[in-house]
Amino acid sequence: MSTLDVAVIGTGRVGLPLALAFADRGLNVLGVDRSPQILEAVRDGRMPFEEPGAPEVLQRVTAAGTISWSDRVADAAAADHVVITLGTPSFSHIEIDLRDIRSVLDDLLPHLRPGTSLTLRSTIAPRTTAFVAGYLRKHRDFRIGEDVFVAHAPERIAAGRFFEEIVSLPCIVGGVGERSGEVVGELFSVFGAPIVQTTPEQAELAKIWTNILRYATFALPNLLMMDCEQYDANVFEVIDLINRDYPRGGMKLPGFTAGTCLRKDFAFSEERSTAPGMLLAASRVNESVPLFLVEGAKRRLGSLENKKVAVLGLAFKSATDDERDSLSHKLIRLLERELADVAVHDPWVTTPTQPLTDALDGADAVMVAANHPEFCTAETLAAIAACATPSALVIDPWNCWGAGQVFGYASELAALRTA
Ligand SMILES: NC(=O)c1ccc[n+]([C@@H]2O[C@H](COP(=O)([O-])OP(=O)(O)OC[C@H]3O[C@@H](n4cnc5c(N)ncnc54)[C@H](O)[C@@H]3O)[C@@H](O)[C@H]2O)c1
């Protein structure tokens, strides 16, 4: 018997909290990553990114000696259970990019032993689990579900809520062959959340359509926001008209809809969809929001050349330090292409940004790109009133301050403070 219970390959935003959680249940865990920065941080007892509760668990499992680290994928083959939490980006050709997963499989193949389970925790396109099982069968002649066990157990936890949701969200397990689902279900049962057994394809579809549901849901208010501009209508008032006391309402609010999951997971459906196009349209809507805001600013301010624009928020959503696939970067690029002078403030991210008052100082426009809790306060409102030009345009698709204007003015916001 191996002394290593679980190896987690890819200790990024998903893999690291998962490895820590397994180790915190007393399992002997190996975290494998090729990133020297991640390994250096965790060996030092530091989290490489924000995840509430993780620093304490890291300390605890380090002291208990239930976690160790490696940069060699082959070391993972010593574990009874291997869990893959690698990134799965999408090529721009609307196709899953499986290069990291294939490279790790090639490193594991010569070392895999009968009895091992291999769980794909990453988000994957339908039929990827069957491909991985077939790859092991083809190259090692394993009987999947009898000699080795392969399953998809997708991660559906939201960043920032890992330790709260790992013990409560139903864990979907789609196993290949006779016993894979049972073996992997038993592994994940250490967290105490319900285990829901299904087929690999249903597990894959359930995960990507969990994200597609959110992506498409947010595309609707974003499209409505753009349509409202055309009709000189107020999107917040229209949404209120839709939802108020209406039992079948539920329109969400507009905002930047992207991030490393939402921006690409729809493509995993589109790559084989027999009715393609609808999700591409949803993507085009969400991806157009930064341009819509820049064009709206130009309609009100004229040319943005040499105008100072303060962008509040670099992260892809509220209350995270994760900037990956953030639409804020797109917004900044578009503003720079208008020759605007862009200043950025974000209290969450590790990328250096300007202090709030410096970013706002003399700004002709303020754009709220991420609705961090710090921004939606009377203090930030006061800082805008004090620092930006009195006629500054304040662009807030999130309705951070309840002003109910995607395109408002600093003077109106100041009035709101005293109202
Ligand atoms: N971030 C989220 O909130 C979230 C939520 C649900 C699902 N997912 C899915 O989970 C998966 C992982 O996402 P993530 O955000 O944790 O990605 P990530 O980029 O933060 O982590 C992936 C890690 O794998 C490592 N890696 C890549 N190739 C490697 C190799 N050959 N050997 C060793 N290590 C290697 C990278 O260094 C990185 O640290 C993706 O499929 C994603 O779509 C993410």
Mean pLDDT score of the chain: 96
The model's confidence at residue 412, banded by pLDDT at 50, 70 and 90, is confident
Distance 397 CA to ligand 1 centre (A): 30
The model's confidence at residue 84, banded by pLDDT at 50, 70 and 90, is very high
Q: What is the mean pLDDT of residues 227-235?
A: 98
206 pLDDT more than 70:
yes
pLDDT digits (tens, 9 = 90+) for 240-257: 999 999 999 999 999 999
129 pLDDT more than 80:
yes
Distance 9 CA to ligand 1 centre (A): 9
pLDDT digits (tens, 9 = 90+) for 288-307: 999 999 999 999 999 999 99
Enumerate the CATH 3.40.50.720 domain ranges in the chain, comma separated. 4-198, 232-418
The model's confidence at residue 274, banded by pLDDT at 50, 70 and 90, is confident
Ligand 1 contact, 97 CB (< 6 A): no
Q: Which atom of ligand 1 is nearest to the CA of 88?
A: 41
CATH code of the domain occupying 4-198: 3.40.50.720
Atom 13, ligand 1: which residue's CA is nearest?
Answer: 87
Distance 404 CA to ligand 1 centre (A): 38
Ligand 1 contact, 260 CB (< 6 A): yes
Ligand 1 contact, 67 CB (< 6 A): no
Q: What is the mean pLDDT of residues 152-170?
A: 96
Atom 15, ligand 1: which residue's CA is nearest?
Answer: 13
Predicted local distance difference test score (pLDDT) of residue 62? 98
Predicted local distance difference test score (pLDDT) of residue 2? 52
Predicted local distance difference test score (pLDDT) of residue 411? 85
Distance 419 CA to ligand 1 centre (A): 47
Quick one: what percent of the chain has pLDDT higher than 90? 95
Q: What is the mean pLDDT of residues 160-185?
A: 97
Distance 196 CA to ligand 1 centre (A): 23
Predicted local distance difference test score (pLDDT) of residue 418? 52
Predicted local distance difference test score (pLDDT) of residue 1? 43
Q: What is the mean pLDDT of residues 396-416?
A: 90
275 pLDDT more than 90:
no
Q: What is the dihedral of CA 26, 30, 33, 39, to 10 degrees?
A: 70
Atom 7, ligand 1: which residue's CA is nearest?
Answer: 155
383 pLDDT more than 80:
yes
pLDDT digits (tens, 9 = 90+) for 19-67: 999 999 999 999 999 999 999 999 999 999 999 999 999 999 999 999 9
Predicted local distance difference test score (pLDDT) of residue 417? 58
Q: Which atom of ligand 1 is nearest to the CA of 265?
A: 43
- The CATH architecture annotation of domain 232-418 reads 3-Layer(aba) Sandwich (3.40)
Distance 36 CA to ligand 1 centre (A): 15
